[in-house]
Amino acid sequence: MKKYLYKGREMVKMLRVEAGEQVYLRTESVYDAPRQTGEVVVKAVVMENGFLDLSGIIKIKKKANLAEAFLRQKVLLVGKNSRAEARPELEIETDEVKASHAASVGRVSEEEIFYLMTRGFNRNEALDLIIKSFLGEEDEE
Amino acid sequence: MSKFVAKKTAEAREVRKAIGEYKYGFSMPENNIFKAKKGLDLERVEEISKMKGEPLWMKNFRQNSYKIFESKEMPKWGADLSQINFEEIFYYVKPSEGQVDSWDKVPKEIKDTYDKLGIPEAEKEHLGGIKAQYESEVVYGSLLDKLKKQGILFLGMDEALKEYPELVKEYFGKLIPPTDNKFAALNSAVWSGGSFIYVPKGVKVDLPLQAYFRINSLRMGQFERTLIIVDEGAFVHYIEGCTSPIYSSDSLHAAVVEIFVKKGARCRYTTIQNWSNNVYNLVTKRAKVEEEGIMEWVDGNLGSKVTMKYPAVVLVGRKAHGEILSIAVASKGQHLDAGGKCTHLAPETTSRIISKSISLKGGRSSYRGLINIASGAKNSRSKVVCDALILDKQSRSDTYPVNKINEREVILEHEATVSKIGEEQLFYLMSRGFSEEEAEAMIVNGFIEEIVKELPMEYSVELNRLIALQMEGSVG
Predicted-assembly ipTM surpassing the 0.85 threshold? yes
Q: Please state which of the ranges A43-57, B103-117, B214-228, B311-325 shows the lowest mean pLDDT.
A: B103-117
DSSP B245-277: ---SS-EEE--EEEEEE-TT-EEEEEEEE---T
Choose the closest CB to A105 out of B390, B400, B405: B405
Higher pLDDT, A110 or B172: B172
The type of residue at A60 is I
SS3 label, residue B78: coil
| CB pair distance less than 8 Å for B405 and A77 | yes
SS3 label, residue B32: coil
pLDDT band per the 50, 70, 90 thresholds, residue B464? confident
Phi-psi region of B339 (alpha: psi -120 to 50; beta: other; left: phi over 0): left
| Distance spanning both ends of chain B, measured CA to CA | 28
pLDDT band per the 50, 70, 90 thresholds, residue B10? low
Which residues from B are below 8 Å from A91, CB to CB? 396, 398
Global confidence as pTM:
0.91
Which residues from A are below 8 Å from B415, CB to CB? 100-102
| CB pair distance less than 8 Å for A91 and B391 | no
The chain B residue lying nearest A88, using CA atoms, is: B401
Q: Is B324's pLDDT higher than 50?
A: yes
Across the range B21-37, mean pLDDT stands at: 85
| CB pair distance less than 8 Å for A100 and B417 | yes
The chain B residue lying nearest A82, using CA atoms, is: B408
Across the range B460-469, mean pLDDT stands at: 76
Choose the closest CB to A103 out of B403, B410, B419: B403
| CB pair distance less than 8 Å for B400 and A98 | no
A97 touching B, CB under 8 A?
Answer: yes
The chain A residue lying nearest B414, using CA atoms, is: A103
B411 touching A, CB under 8 A?
Answer: yes
Q: How close B417 gets to chain A, by Cα (Å)?
A: 4
Phi-psi region of B239 (alpha: psi -120 to 50; beta: other; left: phi over 0): beta
Q: What does the pLDDT read at residue B17? A: 47
pLDDT band per the 50, 70, 90 thresholds, residue B125? confident
**Cross-strand pairs, B323:** B296, B352
Beta carbons within 8 Å of B465's beta carbon, 6+ residues apart:
B15, B18, B19
Across the range B86-98, mean pLDDT stands at: 92
Cα–Cα nearest to A68, from B97, B188, B419? B419
Choose the closest CB to A107 out of B409, B415, B417: B409
Across the range A104-128, mean pLDDT stands at: 93
- CB pairs below 8 Å between A and B: how many? 105
What whole-number percentage of chain B has pLDDT above 90?
70
| CB pair distance less than 8 Å for A77 and B390 | no
Across the range B119-131, mean pLDDT stands at: 85
| CB pair distance less than 8 Å for B397 and A90 | yes
Cβ neighbours of B15 (radius 10 Å): 15
The chain A residue lying nearest B413, using CA atoms, is: A104
Mutate to test the interface with B, among A24, A105, A109 (most CBs of B within 10 A): A105
Which residues from B are below 8 Å from A75, CB to CB? 405
pLDDT band per the 50, 70, 90 thresholds, residue B121? confident
